């Protein structure tokens, strides 16, 4: 998988002065567009769309500084409909406009072409299972929150605080299917997975019981799930689990992620320093 991702990075670089078809890039990676976006954001720490934008502006900035062509021609070549749109994007990345950069030779920001390598440590094994599940329902409380790639998501923190412990206890009593107990569920993410885009976040349970008044039901269709477990210091153990799933498990196994909710069950020790976690991700077998 990592070799195919590197071929995809080459494909993107060859087409920076054209409209890049992400579906075409996914074909180079021999996977689905959904999985390519999901895999890339997990490995690179930024959405694929943001990487493409930054690479375009990096290559375009070199042409700006070369001072051989009008700025408008460079802008149009790299997909901007006007000089003003190009100048705004250029300034957002580099801190100066293209005209000023050309006049002063200002130092600019560079986004290098990414390449992916697998580091084999061999000192731990990942605990996982793959299960086929019939349809089930998540019942709980829902909020629309922004996607945050790094650091705490304050919108989620505030939402969970507003629920209160009594409401959470009453919800937990409804849990009668795996994963047991209160779960955090992320659903309906923007395909770009860009920072700040909205997603549905649930605190709830997997249950066959009727939904109590004031709660929301998320129906989940039948499908295949990869289930990962970990235990260790909080929150590092959970953060490392997400990292290891996308840097080690997916590249080494014949599965790819598919659209669907991502479910995390966490149990903290009484002092909050240790965590046990179970992560459920919707997957499908790779074709071919």
Question: Is residue 142 classed as helix, strand or coil in its secondary structure?
Answer: strand
Q: What is the pLDDT of residue 123?
A: 44
Residue-range domains of the chain with CATH: 2-104 (1.10.10.60), 127-285 (3.20.80.10)
Q: What is the pLDDT of residue 119?
A: 58
Asked if residue 172 lies in contact with residue 203, where contact means CB atoms within 8 angstroms, the answer is: no
Identify which of 285, 256, 283 has the alpha carbon closest to the alpha carbon of residue 32.
Answer: 256
Which residues, given as ranges, of the chain have pLDDT below 70?
Answer: 118-126, 288
Instruction: Give the residues across from 118 on adjacent strands.
Output: none
Q: What is the pLDDT of residue 126?
A: 61
Distance CA 93, CA 111 (A): 10
Name the residue with tokens 């930054």: 54
Q: What is the pLDDT of residue 3?
A: 84
Identify which of 112, 117, 118, 116 has the alpha carbon closest to the alpha carbon of residue 51.
Answer: 112
Q: What is the pLDDT of residue 118?
A: 62
Name the residue with tokens 């409209």: 19
Identify which of 283, 243, 285, 247 has the alpha carbon closest to the alpha carbon of residue 263.
Answer: 283
Q: pTM for this one? A: 0.79
Identify which of 222, 223, 182, 227 has the alpha carbon closest to the alpha carbon of residue 204.
Answer: 182
Determine the straight-line distance between the first and last CA of the chain, rounded to whole angstroms: 13
Q: Which long-range contacts (CB under 8 A, 24 or more apart) does 213-219 make?
A: 214/141, 215/139, 215/140, 215/141, 215/171, 216/139, 216/140, 216/141, 216/142, 217/137, 217/138, 217/139, 218/137, 218/138, 218/139, 218/140, 218/142, 218/185, 218/187, 218/261, 219/135, 219/137
Distance CA 285, CA 281 (A): 13
- Range 208-234 burial, b when 16+ CB lie within 10 A, else e: eeeeeeebeebebeebbbbbbebeeeb
Distance CA 139, CA 181 (A): 11
Q: Which residue stretches of the chain are H helix?
A: 2-14, 22-28, 33-44, 48-66, 71-77, 83-94, 98-104, 154-163, 165-172, 236-244, 250-252
Q: What is the pLDDT of residue 121?
A: 52
Distance CA 155, CA 169 (A): 21
Q: Which two tokens stand for residue 38?
A: 């999901």
Q: What is the pLDDT of residue 124?
A: 46
Residues 6+ apart with CB under 8 A from 188: 199, 200
Question: Is residue 84 classed as helix, strand or coil in its secondary structure?
Answer: helix
């Amino acid at each position: 998988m990592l070799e195919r991702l590197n071929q995809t990075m080459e494909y993107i670089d060859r087409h920076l002065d054209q409209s890049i078809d992400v579906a075409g890039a996914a074909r180079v990676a021999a996977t689905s567009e959904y999985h390519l976006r999901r895999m890339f954001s997990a490995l690179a720490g930024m959405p694929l769309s943001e990487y493409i934008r930054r690479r375009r502006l990096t290559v375009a900035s070199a042409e700006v500084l070369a001072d051989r062509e009008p700025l408008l021609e460079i802008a149009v070549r790299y997909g901007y409909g006007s000089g003003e749109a190009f100048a705004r994007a250029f300034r957002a990345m580099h801190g100066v406009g293209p005209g000023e950069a050309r006049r002063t030779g200002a130092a600019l920001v560079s986004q290098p072409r990414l390449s992916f390598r697998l580091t084999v440590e061999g000192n731990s094994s990942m605990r996982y299972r793959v299960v086929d599940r019939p349809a089930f329902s998540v019942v709980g409380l829902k909020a629309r929150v922004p996607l945050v790639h790094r650091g705490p998501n304050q919108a989620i923190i505030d939402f969970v605080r507003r629920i209160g412990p009594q409401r959470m206890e009453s919800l937990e009593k409804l849990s009668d299917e795996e994963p047991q107990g209160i779960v955090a569920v992320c659903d309906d993410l923007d395909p770009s997975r860009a920072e700040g885009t909205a997603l549905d976040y649930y605190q709830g349970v997997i249950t066959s019981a009727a939904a109590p008044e004031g709660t929301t039901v998320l129906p989940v269709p039948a499908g295949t799930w990869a289930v990962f477990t970990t235990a260790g210091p909080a929150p590092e153990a959970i953060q490392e689990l997400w990292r290891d799933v996308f840097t080690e498990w997916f590249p080494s196994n014949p599965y790819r992620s598919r659209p669907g909710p991502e479910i995390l069950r966490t149990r903290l020790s009484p002092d909050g320093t240790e965590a046990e976690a179970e992560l459920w991700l919707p997957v499908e077998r790779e074709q071919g």
